């Protein structure tokens, strides 16, 4: 029964009147088939997508997006909340909670920047890159950090389909972040 419902839903998102969901249907079919015999190409459509773990065909990839690029009301909410977010971030200076950034093992950083303790990669050369986690996919409880940034957390939690991954970054002077990628199908510059 569950398989029939899932199959029906997959077919319906591929036949919407606008065609907006056809690329998602292709990705989902490929994902369910482990990208094996689905016939869906999972290769990067641009050099900026190389190394991404899950490429959804047909998505546009840009290093930076502006509010004019799409119609997502939450972007405006974040822009309006900038001063609150900045105030909470600046209040964190000198407080506990920042830790060295580590990219997951698996090659999301260019070059060989593996951490000496074997846990992930640094993704930076020289200097220091530290992060203050608010969310990390529910793997680690950062509720104490979130309690120090209630306005920022409220904005993040209001995101539709909240990804449960958010943090503040702090770079020391002279830090160089190397080219790397995340789950968003774009390389940073």
**CB contact set of 161 (below 8 Å; sequence gap of 6+):** none
**Which burial class, exposed, middle or buried, applies to 173 when counting CB atoms under 10 A from its CB (0-12, 13-18, 19+)?**
exposed
pLDDT in tens, 32-72: 666 544 444 555 555 655 555 556 666 666 777 777 777 77
Q: From CA 82, how far away is CA 88, in angstroms rounded? A: 10
CATH hierarchy code of domain 67-177: 2.60.120.330
β-strands 129-136, 165-171 pairing: antiparallel
129-136 sheet: strands from edge to edge: 99-100, 129-136, 165-171
Measured over all CA atoms, what is the biggest interatomic distance in the chain, rounded to whole angstroms?
58
Confidence of residue 11 (pLDDT cuts 50, 70, 90): low
Q: Is the pTM of this model over 0.85?
A: no
Q: Which residues contact 37 (CB under 8 A, 6 or more apart)?
A: none
Q: d(Cα 39, Cα 146) in Å, to the nearest integer?
A: 43
> Which phi and psi angles does 27 have, rounded to 5°?
-65, -45
Structure tokens at 179: 């080219």
Domain ranges of the chain: 2-42, 67-177
Q: How far is CA 112 from CA 46, 122, 125, 152, in A?
A: 23, 9, 10, 34
Distance CA 110, CA 106 (A): 11
pLDDT in tens, 76-135: 888 999 999 999 999 999 888 998 887 765 556 655 677 777 677 777 788 888 999 999
């Amino acid at each position: 029964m569950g398989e029939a419902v899932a199959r029906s839903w997959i077919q319906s998102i591929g036949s919407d009147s606008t065609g907006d969901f056809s690329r998602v249907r292709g990705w989902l079919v490929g994902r369910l088939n482990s990208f094996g015999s689905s016939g869906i190409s999972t290769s990067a459509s641009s050099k900026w997508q190389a190394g991404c773990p899950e490429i959804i065909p047909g998505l546009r990839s840009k290093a930076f997006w502006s509010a004019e690029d799409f119609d997502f009301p939450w972007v405006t909410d974040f822009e309006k909340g900038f001063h609150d977010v900045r105030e909470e971030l600046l209040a964190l200076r000198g407080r506990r909670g920042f830790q060295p950034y580590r990219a997951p093992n698996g090659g999301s950083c260019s070059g060989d920047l593996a951490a000496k303790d074997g846990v992930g990669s640094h993704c930076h050369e020289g200097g220091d890159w530290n992060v203050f986690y608010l969310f990390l996919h529910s793997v680690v409880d950062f509720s104490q950090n979130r309690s120090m940034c209630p306005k920022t957390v409220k904005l993040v939690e209001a995101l539709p389909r909240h990804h449960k991954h958010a943090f503040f970054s702090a770079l020391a002077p002279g830090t160089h972040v190397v080219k790397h990628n995340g789950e968003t199908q774009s390389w940073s510059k």
